[in-house]
Structure 1
Amino acid sequence: MTVAEGITTLLFPFQWQHIYLPLLPAPLHHLLDAPVPFLMGIQRRDGAQRSTLELSNESNLCFVDIDNHRVDPPEDLPLFPDQLELIQEVNEVLLRFGLQPYGGSTTTKPAPAAPPCLSSLVLEDLMEDRRNGNLGGEELAVLERLQALARRCGGGGMAGGKTLGRAFEEEEEELKAAKMNVQLREVFAGRFTSMFGRYEEFVIHSASDLESWLGNREGTSNFDKGSFLSAQPTTHLHFLSRFLETAMFSSFVDSKVLSRWADQEPLQRVFDRRLERERLYNTLEDDPGNRLYRKCTVLHESVQAMERRLLKADHTAIHPHLLDMRIGQGRHQQGCFPRLQADVLAQGHHTNKWSSRYIPKRPVTTETTSGLDNDQREKFSPGRILCQSKLLDPSPSAVTQTQRGFVEGLLRECRVKTRHMLMERMGKESVELGQGEANITGLQENRLIHSLCDLLERTWGHGLQLKQGRSALWSHLLHYQANEEKMESPSNLYKPYAFLLCEEEREQFLFHLLSLNTVDYLCFTRKFTSISIPYRVVITPMKKLSIAMTMSNPWVCVSGELGDSGVRQIPKNTQEIIFQCQNLGRLSTLQLGQENSGLLAKCLVDCVIVHNEITGHTYRFPCGRWLGKGVGDGSLERVLIGQLVSPGGEEDSGRWTGTPPEQGSPPQSGRTGSLGSLSRKLSSAQVQEDTREAVNNLVKHFHKAEQERGNLTALLCGEGGLVRSLEQFLLHGFKSSRLFQRSVFIWDFVEKVVVSMETADQMGDLRESTELCDSLCHYANAINASPRNIGKEGKFQLLVCLGVRDRLLPQWLHLLAECHLTAVQYEKSALVRDRAAVHTLSRVLHTLHEFPIALETALVKGVDL
């Protein structure tokens, strides 16, 4: 019981919100099946080991063996922030009071007892009170002689065989324990003050009145968890992300919001005053993200405050005195309790002249909100399923009612959690490729998923007949796998009151879980990096043009944030392949190619779809270009940029039936790298705006926290990326002398400029900087010499990416604009011939020089630069 009380005391300013039974009686052992957090004390009998306890949800339990001084935490329990420093500070406090860590004690000799102080005054006070004492003069004289004799003998005997010195030693030990208790509480309170010193800045006050807040409490968030976590040190995130999901933190924040309309919680009032004092003395860190461990500095002051409280009397007791009664009324036989006088007891309180000596006690707040009616209190009740009195009733009807309450609580928790997960994730799928603002991080995803896994574990562990492993859910899945055809009935595996045997609640539970299929979570993909995952790849040709798909030994290579799959050959006469490899993480690029088998092997590819068979994530890699010799830009290999398909989206309909779904073909004019109608239709203002937006997206990418960043390759090479915008800039105003001609690519113009520079350099007519010209020629020739046949579009894309990485792109842009071929190839209204436009674009590109840009291997493979 002392350990349980100590744990709840050290939680200040938070309060334990769940089942609390410091000593669990034997008739109530069924409460160990409770699918809710609990704090219970179990008595060890006859040296029994912990393994003899049949607990269904053991994987989520923390065992504290008090006798053996051992703590057995759950496997995934995060470390407390600055745990080693905190342990060291606690040990220092224990050593100051003569206690060794881990339950030992010092061997130092105790200090000699001080002279009797309080206890020795008892007889003296009694003897000096001759006027009011009930004893006569003779009896008092006897007491005086007894006390004098005790002083001469040095005994100072008291009742029960204890001496006055021993009694004083016990009082000193109690005072010492009280001082240690205060200092330990201050150490932990200091840690919570450091972690949550600025929590008020992240509290969301979304309601204008109490009724609207109570009515929309489940659908609104009262605390900005994402912003709070982003301001914390990286080493603290694992613990804090889990702690923010606890009921006691939610109740703490709710109480803060509620304090606008009702009295503030006593503990929260004390905590807020402590924070005000910390701010007054400027002891709170201005930058929580770089917080250093700071030991508690008020240990001595806290002990002094406690001693002052002990010296201040809470109650002034009166000396023994004669009652105001008639002579003879107080007589009684020796050893018998005297008969009470009715007329004395009937006197009112107003006649008590000693009432003014009592110090009024502070009223104890039993509800979290004073001043609220019963309905409002019921709405505000922070998730306690059953009151403590019902839990302690061992009758069968009470046990059934208790378990029924657990079932209803699990269903309610499932509804709230799934709704919260949907609200957190809805509308955020568009930021996965780095476009837009990311409001949810991978850490927050892990927090939400862990909370759901904890709920599932408690649900499957409720009412389990026999524990078959640390995880009840995993044991159930293994049992199902081994006995899929002859699986034992759930009624034989679970007790009658188990959640899984409540048909209606089970159906609603599954309905809430299925609602999560409408959003995507990537935490599994990021977390389990070594797991083997099957991927399905489907190549979709452009069917609207009725062109048969003729490819010679096609192959794919899928790349993600954790690696690539290597080259995977697609079987003949098929459009798809299923392969298994180590988890690739979130997919980013896909290389699609074929062998050089002549002009007949060509195909107009609409897109390539990759499906993760375990997580269900689908990625679409748009193409819309030819693959083959003598057609398009003559590419035999394409590097495609992936897009995560939203669940339930148009591309996701009917997956997966073995045949690729019908895809809407993007307009051919929308393809980049060639002179088309789109480049002519775009105005110069639109082209410049697209370029500025592409660069701005890259700048915002690097200014975000690392865990919030999207896919850099998509910002460079995807739709709306930097490569696309620069192609639009260079295609603007490009001359076309014939109505019917082969597509003109920017790479053709770059090659002509390179040849012109090399010729001018040989003849000594080069007017530009030799170093810059040499760099452009060197990069262009290296790309042309690459063994990869990536086509003209791919070559220009690679040139732009290398120029951004090596901080050469703005200088190359000036070279292209100043070349004499530009006046021949471009109209006068072209942007590349506008010195102001070129200068502005160069300044915009210069903003990328301060960021380190790392290119994926799929982009630069085969080029040694």
Structure 2
Amino acid sequence: MGQEAVELGHGEVNIIGVEENTLIASLCDLLERIWSHGLLTKKGKSALWSHMLSFLELEEINDSGKPIDPKLLTPAVSTSTAIQVATQMVALVPGLLQSSANLKNYLTPPTPDYFTGNHLWPNLSTHDSPNRNYKEIHSDAAANSVEVEKEKPAALTHRRSRSKGGTELPVLKAMPKSLTSDMKKVKAMTDIKTDVGFARAFVRLALEKKTLSTHLKELLADADLLRSLYKRYAFLRCEEEREQFLYHLLSLNAVDYFCFTNTFTNTIVPYKVLIFPSTKFGCFTTSANPWISIAGQLGETGVIEIPKGCLEFNTEQKNLGVLTTLRIGHDNSGMTPKWLVEYVLVRNEITGHLFKFPCGKWLGRVDDGSTERLLVGELVHPATETEDLGTLSRTPPRCMSPAPTGSPRHKLMEQSLSIPEIQEMLGHAVNNIVKHFHKPEKERGNITYLLCGENGLVQCIECVFKCGFKSARLFRHKFYSWDYLEKVKSCFETFLECPESLPPIASTDQAKAGYWLFCKRMNQINNATSETIGKDGRFQLFVCVGIRDRLLQQWLPLMANTTVTQQMYEENSFLRDRRAMSFLVHILDTLNDYNVCLESSLTRGLDI
């Protein structure tokens, strides 16, 4: 299951499906046999879980026996409050001042202040006149109170210091990695009824978090507990064998498991969501009512309303599995609804898996007018176990943020990618999809990321449409690929209404069928999608549906032969280069052998 499995040919360092369940069940049986060997008294059906419960009980007893935390004690009376009380006492007995030469003889000696060393009571020295009235003393006490408050240092807080712009980004704190914390998570699962079930759930969770060896080492470190539970000859009390056993378990960390996530599908899982907006352009917050929807391989959450001004919140949902997409938007209400979101982080609070959903685009009537965005997630692997997850918020890598000059992302934004570079990107994107389908069905990853993620097929097709476009000189507004598709649709509708206007090459029945299907799909997308989905979202849906229906490679040559393409593109553009178009059609034809299924979160349940 561990390093040996990788060496024997599991190149993707993951084992999924029936083989994984069989191996993990065998591992659980092995652990039960080891923990049952030499047991003094058997308690319950699972020796492993019984040992862990005893360990947890001792930990709770030790925690309860610790000294009282000073933070839980009643706070001390402040200096100003003490002076005010003393002054009121003096004011209530003015005759006492006249009958006594020194009030300090009748009062408890003053206590020095914790911060400044000043006395809490008013300074009534022996040189004070016995005839001073209580109003004068009250004024002295008030003056002392002001001085003490000025000298008192500012209270310490644990809030993160604000940035220069006066905004504060959320910080993702590291999760506890102790044995007791994971045990409490497993005990809280309501869909498990037996001790054996709890033990197996714990093993699966520890395998997925790569902490099985660490947790068992912590469990076996309590020598007194071992002596009270096991006989002298027990396996767990043999130090050399025990250390060798833990060393073998450490090799399991070489494999990525999702055995807990994919097994307990009905478990209620808490998710932590952190939204990182841009601190520039005055768009840190929005006056609109934002919402979010998360989707995974096992289900979707539906719309979750986000309180205004809230960038961090928790939500409990039925297990979504490995997260794939996230849709974020708002209702475009208020005076300043536009919102520039850098990215969103979502963490499974049981397994600790962290998913990042890059955005880098506006929500509102800006750019393409979209008030909602579909974000594709990717699993974040911390470089080290001690890495501070809060550092993810310090350098947010926006999808559309400025990139180093000469990089593929910078060239894409500047529309300066050459045809060979675009062909290379297309080759990598299609090759990744082909490799996806050549894996066993249960070992396949997320095809949505291969289609719509960074350097995915949709982004590569967008590069094709942006290569050699003339709008930089002819128009002032930003060009969107959807604008070109709308003009092509109008041209195709003219061809269908007036067959005599068709060019000789495009007068075949196959070409006419392509025109009709293209116009039908465009109308379906326009009619099915609401105004909240902008031009980028509609183009993304158009490409995905075209690949699914195996029609995109038929439409592209028809689009290239229209007068719209000649008017809007240079002669050296990708769409007007016959060799480049032949390459594109040929490489997309390789996907005809595979059944591409789109997630409902991508199509939003539309009947397209």
What TM-score bracket applies, with the shorter chain setting the length? Answer: 0.5 to 0.7
Paired amino acid for 1:826: Y
Q: What is the SS of the residue equivalent to 2:273?
A: strand
Q: Distance in 1 between matches of 2:48 and 2:455?
A: 45
Give 2:523's match in structure 1, choosing from 781, 805, 819.
781
Secondary structure of 1:539 counterpart: strand
**Which residue of the partner structure matches residue 476 of structure 1?**
51
| Aligned pair partner of 1:653 in 387, 401, 404 | 387
Alignment of 1:303-702 (within 5 A): 420=4, 428=12, 440-446=15-21, 449-450=24-25, 452-480=27-55, 484-486=59-61, 490=225, 491-498=227-234, 520-543=256-279, 547-550=283-286, 552-597=288-333, 600-629=336-365, 631-648=366-383, 653-655=387-389, 662-666=395-399, 668=401, 678=413, 680-702=415-437
Partner residue of 1:860?
Answer: 603
Mapped partners of 1:461, 1:856: distance in 2: 46
Tell me the TM-score normalised to structure 1 length.
0.46
Report deviation, 1:850: 2.6
Q: Which whole-Å deviations, capped at 9, do the CAs of 1:198-256 have from their partners, x for residues lacking one?
A: xxxxxxxxxxxxxxxxxxxxxxxxxxxxxxxxxxxxxxxxxxxxxxxxxxxxxxxxxxx
The whole-number CA distance in structure 1 between the counterparts of 2:235 and 2:489 is: 74
Is the 8 Å Cα contact of residues 814 and 838 (structure 1) preserved in structure 2? Answer: yes
What is the match of residue 533 of structure 2?
Answer: 790
- Residue matched to 2:480: 745
**What does 1:7-26 align with in structure 2 at a 5 Å threshold?**
none
Q: Distance in 2 between matches of 1:520 and 1:545?
A: 41
Shift of 1:533: 1.9
Which 10-residue stretch deviates more, 551-560 or 479-488?
A: 479-488
User: 1:378: which partner in 2?
Assistant: none
Residue identity in the other structure for 1:663: P
- Find the counterpart in structure 2 of residue 732 from structure 1: 467
Please tell me whether the aligned partners of residues 627 and 635 of structure 1 are also in contact (alpha carbons under 8 angstroms): yes
Question: Does structure 2 retain, via aligned residues, the 8 Å contact 1:537–1:610?
Answer: yes
- Secondary structure (helix, strand or coil) at the match of 1:584 reads coil
CA shift for structure 1 position 683: 1.4
Task: Note if 1:840 corresponds to 2:547.
Answer: no
* CA spacing shift, 1:425–1:699, aligned 2, 3 Å: closer
What's the CA shift for 1:514? Answer: 6.7
Q: In the superposition, relative to structure 1, how do residues 421 and 594 fare at CA in structure 2: closer, same or farther (>3 Å)?
A: farther
1:104 match: none
Post-superposition offset of 1:840 = 2.8
CA distance in 2, matches of 1:675, 1:779: 32
Q: CA 1:570 to 1:503, structure 2 compared with 1: closer, same or farther past 3 Å?
A: farther
Determine if contact 2:3/2:255 at 8 Å carries over to the other structure: no
Contact map agreement 1:426 1:519 (CA 8 A) in 2:
no
**Distance change >3 Å, CA 758–CA 666, structure 1 → 2:** closer
Structure-1 residue corresponding to 2:448: 713
Q: How does 1:78-117 map to 2 (within 5 A)?
A: none
1:802 is displaced (CA, Å) by 0.9
Does the CA-based 8 Å contact 2:3-2:254 persist in structure 1?
A: no
Is the partner of 2:260 in helix, strand or coil? helix
1:218: which partner in 2? none
SS of corresponding position for 1:520: coil
From the superposition, tell whether residues 465 and 803 of structure 1 become closer, same or farther in structure 2 (CA, over 3 Å).
same
Question: In structure 2, how many angstroms separate the alpha carbons of the residues matched to 1:833 and 1:599?
Answer: 45
For residue 431 of structure 2, give the secondary structure of its aligned residue in structure 1.
helix
Aligned in 2, Cα 1:811/1:557: closer, same or farther, shift over 3 Å? same
For 1:540, what is the secondary structure of its paired residue?
strand
CA distance in 1: counterparts of 2:584 and 2:370, whole angstroms? 30
- How far apart are residue 777 of structure 1 and its match? 1.6
- How far apart are the structure 1 equivalents of 2:384 and 2:300? 27
Q: Give distance in 1, aligned partners of 2:265 and 2:446.
A: 18
* Contact 1:541–1:606 under 8 Å retained in 2: yes
For residues 562-620 of structure 1, what are the alpha-carbon distances to aligned partners after superposition, in whole Å with 9 as ceiling and x for unaligned?
A: 21122222233221232222222222111122222157222222222221122221111
Partner of 2:557: 814
1:688 CA drift (Å): 1.4
- Once the two structures are TM-superposed, the CA of residue 815 in structure 1 deviates from its matched residue by 2.4
Distance 2:382 2:7 in 1: 15
Unaligned stretches of 5+ residues in structure 1: 1-416, 430-438
Q: CA, structure 1 residues 607+449, in 2 after alignment: closer, same or farther (shift >3 Å)?
A: farther
Q: How does 1:757-776 map to 2 (within 5 A)?
A: 757-762=492-497, 766-767=501-502, 768=506, 769-776=511-518
Query: Is 455-464 or 615-624 further displaced after alignment?
Result: 455-464
1:829 to partner: Cα distance: 0.2
1:499 is displaced (CA, Å) by 5.5
- Counterpart of 2:167 in structure 1 is none
SS at match of 2:575: helix
Q: CA deviation at 1:817?
A: 0.6
Rg comparison, structure with higher value? 1
The answer as to 2:331 corresponding to 1:756 is no
| Contact residue 272 and residue 312 of structure 2 kept, 8 A | yes
TM-score normalised by structure 2 residue count: 0.63
> How far apart in 1 are the matches of 2:562 and 2:470?
16
**1:716, 1:722 within 8 Å by CA — same for their partners in 2?**
yes
Q: Structure 2 vs 1, CA of residues 528 and 690 (structure 1 numbering), >3 Å: closer, same or farther?
A: same
Q: CA deviation at 1:501?
A: 5.6
Q: What is the CA distance between 1:803 and its match in structure 2?
A: 0.9
Residue type of the alignment partner of 1:654: D
**Cα distance in 2 between the residues matched to 1:666 and 1:796:** 17
The CA deviation at 1:745 is 0.9
Tell me the CA shift for residue 535 of structure 1. Answer: 1.8
> What displacement does 1:749 show?
0.8
Amino acid at match of 1:568: I
- How big is each residue's C-alpha offset from its partner over 1:115-141, in whole Å with a ceiling of 9 and x where there is no partner? xxxxxxxxxxxxxxxxxxxxxxxxxxx
CA separation in 2, counterparts of 1:737 and 1:681? 12
In structure 2, relative to structure 1, the CA distance for the partners of 1:463 and 1:602 (3 Å cut) is farther
| Matched residue type, 2:270 | P
Distance 2:240 2:344 in 1: 43
Give, in angstroms, the shift of residue 695 of structure 1.
2.1
When residues 422 and 697 of structure 1 are mapped into structure 2, their CA distance, relative to the original with a 3 A threshold, is: closer
Q: How far did 1:773 drift? A: 1.8
TM-superposed CA distance for 1:827, in Å, is 0.6
- Equivalent position amino acid for 2:550 in 1: R
Aligned equivalents of 2:483 and 2:237: distance in 1?
A: 71
**Shift of residue 527 of structure 1?**
2.3
Aligned residues: 435
Q: Which position in structure 2 is the counterpart of 1:286?
A: none
Match for 2:428: what amino acid? E
Distance of 1:843 and 1:832 partners within structure 2:
14
Quote the sequence identity (%): 47
Residues 528/495 of structure 1: CA separation in 2 closer, same or farther (3 Å cut): same
Q: Following the alignment from structure 1 to structure 2, what is the Cα–Cα distance between the partners of residues 511 and 572? A: 50
- Cα deviations across residues 16-43 of structure 1 (Å, max 9, x unaligned)? xxxxxxxxxxxxxxxxxxxxxxxxxxxx
Q: Secondary structure at the match of 1:526?
A: coil
* CA drift at 1:734: 0.9
Gaps of 5+ in 2: 63-221
Give the distance between the partners of 1:425 and 1:655, measured in 2 at CA.
Answer: 33
State the shift of 1:509 in Å: 6.6
Q: Distance in 2 between matches of 1:540 and 1:514?
A: 36
